[in-house]
Homo-oligomer: A and B are copies of this chain.
Amino acid sequence: MKVLQVELDHARSYPIYIGSGLLAQAELLTRHIHSKQVLIVTNETIAPLYLAKLQAGLSAYQVATVILPDGEQFKTLQYLDNIFDQLLANKFSRNATLIALGGGVIGDMGGFAAACYQRGIAFIQIPTTLLAQVDSSVGGKTGVNHALGKNMIGAFYQPQCVIADADVLDTLDDRQLSAGLAEVIKYGLIRDLEFLHWLEANMPLLLGRDKTALAYAIERSCANKAAVVGEDEFESGVRATLNLGHTFGHAIETGCGYGHYLHGEAVAIGTCFAADLSRRLGWLNDADVERIVAIFKAANLPVTPPAEMTTAQYVDLMAVDKKNIDGKIRVILLEAVGKASLPVNVDLAQLQATLNSYAG
């Protein structure tokens, strides 16, 4: 087992445990629980696979469970209320602990519910998808979607710990595995060229679910994320670089209806947009863009957007991105392969040129 520490101010630092068989090691979990009351939040896909295993280690606690439907389309204020219902029906106190057992949707909702319940209770992330293990479970971004924009309602709220058990990836379907690889590739593109080389060389091993390769990819991704978050917890600067491809990606997720594309798929397409726009600014050359498109293709990810979305729709949806200032659209681009820009005010004509080259 590897332990990575996310270093934050004001006693908010916490460990990420990465390894095999961690779900069976109840002590890893219980050392971070400081009350009798525990709520597990999970979904209909994960519950039959891992809920009993998790509960087995918690027999000494008063455990309640919320099982939500599976999918991005349920990441709403309305479904969030189901979590509050359970907390209150069980009369859980402010010293209770919430455990999020699932992918990014469960982690985001569980974390946001924990942030808001009685103005903040403890929570623990047990990510069960590659995407959640390498990205969404680390760094304290929690929240829900709104019909008009993704992740628009939420909180910065850090967990007590993250337990990334590589064994749970055995039950992940191929499409979800590839979606997770989109965020893994992102770290290579924005700040870790050496890792990008490694990914280019080892993609077949990762897709073949080689345990050693996956564990390495998770660990290196978490190390990159922890470094960025440790430097800029509340995204006043460098943390925004983690959003490469996300402005376009969120527009695709919202525009096509939540749940149609997986988040990682939309990020893959969005990063190809960002690469194209970076080329138009003279920051990348044709070979760079081809290289970026190639690695997403190698990970079995989509690289072209849905035909039905129009340029006007993109511009409209991108106008509510969290990086914007006074409504002006800002995106993360690549100054080079391996080096992200800070948020850039994009020239609307150039943005439209990129969108027109893709949009239907």
On A, residues with C-beta under 8 Å from B are 35-37, 77, 80-81, 84-85, 88-89, 91-95, 115-120, 141, 143, 146, 148-149, 152-156, 319-320, 322-328
CA distance A225 to B117 in the complex (A): 24
A322 contacts across to B, CB distance below 8 A: 93-94, 118-119
With A117-B153, A118-B322 known to touch, is A327 a contact of B92 (CB < 8 Å)?
A: yes
Asked if residues A88 and B36 are in contact (CB atoms below 8 Å), the reply is no
- A77 — which chain B residues lie within 8 A by C-beta? 77, 80-81
Whose C-beta in chain B lies nearest to the C-beta of A81? B77
Q: List 27 A-B contacts (CB under 8 A).
A: A36-B326, A37-B326, A37-B327, A77-B77, A77-B80, A77-B81, A84-B153, A85-B146, A85-B148, A88-B146, A89-B148, A91-B319, A91-B320, A93-B325, A95-B325, A95-B326, A116-B116, A116-B143, A116-B153, A116-B154, A118-B154, A119-B141, A119-B143, A119-B154, A119-B156, A120-B155, A155-B155
Q: Which residues of B contact A88 (CB under 8 A)?
A: 146, 148-149, 152, 320
| Residues of the B chain whose Cβ atoms lie less than 8 Å from the Cβ of A155 | 115-116, 119-120, 155
In the bound complex, CA of A146 to CA of B118 (Å): 11
Residues of B within 8 A of A156 (CB): 119-120
- The CA of A326 and the CA of B95, in the complex, are separated in Å by 7
Closest 8 CB pairs of A and B: A88-B148, A93-B324, A91-B319, A118-B322, A116-B153, A119-B154, A36-B326, A91-B327
Q: How far is the CB of A142 from chain B (nearest CB, A)?
A: 8
Q: Which residues of B contact A94 (CB under 8 A)?
A: 322-325
Instruction: Report whether over half of chain A's contact residues are helix, strand or loop; otherwise say mixed.
Output: mixed
Residues of B within 8 A of A319 (CB): 91
Shortest CB distance A216–B (Å): 31
Give min CB distance, A116 to chain B, whole Å: 5
Residue of B nearest to A323 (CB): B94
Residues of B within 8 A of A91 (CB): 319-320, 324, 327
| Cα–Cα distance between A81 and B143 once the two chains are bound (Å) | 14
Q: Which residue of B lies closest to A36 (CB)?
A: B326
A327 (CB) vs chain B CBs: closest residue: B91
Q: Which residues of B contact A143 (CB under 8 A)?
A: 116, 119
Q: How far is the CA of A94 from the CA of B37 in the complex (A)?
A: 35
> Knowing that A116-B154, A119-B322 are A-B contacts, what are 19 other residue pairs whose CB atoms are under 8 Å apart, sorted by A's residue number?
A35-B325, A36-B327, A77-B81, A84-B152, A85-B148, A88-B146, A88-B149, A88-B320, A89-B148, A91-B319, A91-B320, A92-B327, A93-B322, A93-B324, A93-B328, A94-B323, A116-B143, A118-B322, A119-B141
> B152 and A117: CB pair below 8 A?
yes
Q: Does B93 lie within 8 Å of A326, measured CB to CB?
A: yes
**Could you say which residues of chain B place their CB within 8 Å of the CB of A323?**
94
Q: Which residue of B lies closest to A328 (CB)?
A: B93
CB of A92, distance to nearest CB on chain B (Å): 7
A315 to chain B, nearest CB (A): 11
Q: Which residues of B contact A95 (CB under 8 A)?
A: 325-326
- Say which residue of B36, B146, B324 sits within 8 Å of A84 (CB atoms): B146
A141 — which chain B residues lie within 8 A by C-beta? Answer: 119
- In the bound assembly, the distance between CA atoms of A81 and B326 in angstroms comes to 22
Shortest Cβ distance from A146 into chain B, in angstroms? 6
- CB neighbours (8 Å) of A115 from chain B are 155
How far does the Cβ of A237 sit from chain B's closest Cβ, in whole Å?
14
